Structure 1
Amino acid sequence: MRITQRAVAQTALQGLNRNLADVGKLQQQLTSGKLVSKPSDSPTGVNRAMQIRQDQASTTQQARNISDAQGRLETTDSALSTVIEQVRRVQTLTLRAANEGAMSQTSRTAIATELRGLRESLIGVANTSIDGQPVFGGVTTGSVAYRNDGSYAGVGGTAAVPAVAHTRRISDKEEVRVDVTGPEAFGDPADGDLFALVASIADDVLGDTSALAGHIGALDGAMDRLLTVAAGVGARAARVETAAQVNTDRQLQLKGQLAGVEDIDLPKSIMQLNMQQTGYQAALSATAKVIQPTLVDFLR
């Protein structure tokens, strides 16, 4: 079989072009720092990278949800803690008024005045808001959960209108409720909530002191309800805190996985480039020896 000079030249040039393409590819990878820059580089790698990026987007959104949930639950917990302290003060004043039958009218007036002030303060705390939305207002679009007279202005949580929970997705499989409606914390207005109770106590301190004994039991019930709601908020806050740590770990894990698919191994790539360049130079030298000068070269 006769091999022509043209065939030898074409084969040599094809080999040189392949070597040069490999050198160019390695140089491009070192420049970009990426192992995969287009689908043809690695179809499976590109598919894996797309899946990881989708997971990263989901995890990033969940991180935002967790941050929002933490803010709402912390605000709610702080408000409930304040309310509990104020209700304890109401209990103390009510017991004092009920047990000291010989108390002067001036002292009773002072207690009643303080109770009315505590009621106003309780309404103010009940109107605590975050991002312009009252935390105890349910699904209301208004700016307050309770009006100045103590009537409920929110939506949901009553016997007539059940609560519609505000939830946040904190993981692929988990959602957590981030709100508490006013009736859940302070009692159903239809049955006499905490604010109506404190108003009645303030009136009876100056009027029918015999009714204070019944109010003491009602205050105990209101306190139990507040403590139960606060415990539930604390439990949800603990879940969100755990989810935040898991989310952070997940983001780091996905970042490492994406780097393993896309990023180059710098020392390895530099070594491969040096080897490829050496091979290319050797191929050029060998080709120059194999391809002999033609008659045209002698005629120059």
Structure 2
Amino acid sequence: MRVTQSMLSSNMLRNLSNSYGKMSTLQDQINTGKKITRPSQDPVVATKGIGYRTDLNKVEQYQRNLGEVNNWLDSSDDALDHVGEAVKRLQELVTDAANDSKTSDDRKKIQVEITQIRKQIQDLSNTKVGDKYIFSGTNTLTPLHDGNTFTDTSIATGLNKEVKIEVYDGVQINVNTTGIQLFSDIDAMLEKIETSLGNGSAGTVISGYLSDINNMQNNVLEKRADIGARQNRVEMMENRLESQEIIATKRMSENEDIDLEKAITEMITQESIHTAALSVGSKIIQATLVDFIR
């Protein structure tokens, strides 16, 4: 085959163009730190990257969900802690009122404080996270106590239902504590104690409420123990998600990120090749028709 000057020039220009393309690709990789900047450069890398990003986005969403779970559980535990303190104070007051040395006026003064404790517990039953009532079951927009009475379970059927939040694929955690039974029982007990104190009941009658108060304290502790168990589970889920985040980030980096040292070395090598090609090419295209006529 006869090789002409035109063929040499065309091959040289094509090779130089390819060399510029390789240097451009390497330059983009060094600038961005990524193997590709367009999916068309490597569809396999691009497809895997989408998968890894999806996994990472899911982990981040679950971490946000856990933040909401912690908000509910912490708020529930704090509210019940205050209920426990109120019941403890109630126990002290009833013990004091049961003393037969107390006069009717003394017991009425105690009654006034118990009335305030009752109102405080009613307020605690309406504890909210954001705009949601956390002790109202799935009826999160309905207060447990409307200022007069507690909501009737026969009307609001969701009061004893669980509110769940997804914290992992197929894993949900119950974030609420159903409080209608607990708060209504405490309120009914307080109403009876108020009535007894107001009617001037004997000390033996008043002391009879101490066992009921003790039972209520145990009920509050049981609720808090259940919350504590769920908080421990949430902590384990947080650790698991942190591990999954590290794994997903590592895989994504291995798939997309370049080896910077290797890329710089390849860039220097390609520049040397390109410089040599330019030097040789300049000699090839020097000859003109006038040079051949000479």
- The question of a shared fold, defined as TM-score above 0.5 by the shorter chain, is answered with yes
1:276 is matched with 270
Return the alpha-carbon distance in structure 1 between the equivalents of residues 152 and 223 of structure 2. 18
Using the TM superposition, give the Cα deviation of residue 297 of structure 1 relative to its aligned residue in structure 2, in angstroms.
5.4
Instruction: List aligned pairs for 1:241-260, cutoff 5 A.
Output: 241-260=235-254
Using the TM superposition, give the Cα deviation of residue 81 of structure 1 relative to its aligned residue in structure 2, in angstroms.
0.4
Q: Percent same amino acid among aligned pairs?
A: 27
- Asked if structure 2 preserves the Cα contact closer than 8 Å seen for 1:185 and 1:229, the reply is no
From 267, 275, 285, the counterpart of 2:261: 267
**Distance of aligned partners of 1:243 and 1:184 in 2 relative to their CA distance in 1, 3 Å threshold:** farther
1:41 is matched with 41
1:87 is matched with 87
From 195, 199, 211, the counterpart of 2:187: 195
Q: Which amino acid aligns with 2:150?
A: Y
Is there any run of 5+ residues in structure 2 with no aligned partner, and where?
none
Q: Which amino acid aligns with 1:174?
A: V
Using the TM superposition, give the Cα deviation of residue 244 of structure 1 relative to its aligned residue in structure 2, in angstroms.
2.6
Return the alpha-carbon distance in structure 2 between the equivalents of residues 248 and 258 of structure 1. 15
2:211 is matched with 217
**Distance of aligned partners of 1:172 and 1:142 in 2 relative to their CA distance in 1, 3 Å threshold:** closer
Q: Which amino acid aligns with 1:172?
A: D
**Distance of aligned partners of 1:74 and 1:297 in 2 relative to their CA distance in 1, 3 Å threshold:** farther
Return the alpha-carbon distance in structure 1 between the equivalents of residues 5 and 87 of structure 2. 103
Q: Show CA shifts across 1:208-244 (max 9, x none).
A: 3444354322222222111111011111122223323
Using the TM superposition, give the Cα deviation of residue 254 of structure 1 relative to its aligned residue in structure 2, in angstroms.
2.6
Q: Which amino acid aligns with 1:140?
A: N
Q: Does 1:169 align with 2:163?
A: no
1:146 is matched with 145
- TM value normalised by structure 1: 0.86
**Distance of aligned partners of 1:263 and 1:296 in 2 relative to their CA distance in 1, 3 Å threshold:** farther
Return the alpha-carbon distance in structure 1 between the equivalents of residues 50 and 10 of structure 2. 40
Q: Which amino acid aligns with 1:269?
A: A
2:126 is matched with 127
Using the TM superposition, give the Cα deviation of residue 155 of structure 1 relative to its aligned residue in structure 2, in angstroms.
6.4
Q: Which amino acid aligns with 1:200?
A: K
Return the alpha-carbon distance in structure 1 between the equivalents of residues 233 and 31 of structure 2. 44
- Asked if structure 2 preserves the Cα contact closer than 8 Å seen for 1:73 and 1:233, the reply is yes
Return the alpha-carbon distance in structure 1 between the equivalents of residues 150 and 227 of structure 2. 21
Q: Show CA shifts across 1:36-93 (max 9, x none).
A: 1112222221111101110121112111111111111111110000100111111222
From 175, 180, 203, the counterpart of 1:178: 175
- TM value normalised by structure 2: 0.87
Return the alpha-carbon distance in structure 2 between the equivalents of residues 71 and 157 of structure 1. 28
1:137 is matched with 136
CA RMSD of aligned residues (A): 2.7
**Distance of aligned partners of 1:283 and 1:96 in 2 relative to their CA distance in 1, 3 Å threshold:** same
**Distance of aligned partners of 1:4 and 1:125 in 2 relative to their CA distance in 1, 3 Å threshold:** same
Using the TM superposition, give the Cα deviation of residue 288 of structure 1 relative to its aligned residue in structure 2, in angstroms.
3.8
Return the alpha-carbon distance in structure 2 between the equivalents of residues 248 and 255 of structure 1. 11
**Distance of aligned partners of 1:86 and 1:18 in 2 relative to their CA distance in 1, 3 Å threshold:** same
Return the alpha-carbon distance in structure 2 between the equivalents of residues 131 and 297 of structure 1. 88
**Distance of aligned partners of 1:132 and 1:14 in 2 relative to their CA distance in 1, 3 Å threshold:** same
1:69 is matched with 69
Q: Which amino acid aligns with 1:72?
A: W
Return the alpha-carbon distance in structure 1 between the equivalents of residues 152 and 28 of structure 2. 61
**Distance of aligned partners of 1:156 and 1:235 in 2 relative to their CA distance in 1, 3 Å threshold:** farther
- Asked if structure 2 preserves the Cα contact closer than 8 Å seen for 1:156 and 1:162, the reply is no
Q: Which amino acid aligns with 2:114?
A: L
Using the TM superposition, give the Cα deviation of residue 184 of structure 1 relative to its aligned residue in structure 2, in angstroms.
4.7
After superposing the two structures, state which structure 1 stretch, 25-34 or 53-62, moved more. 25-34
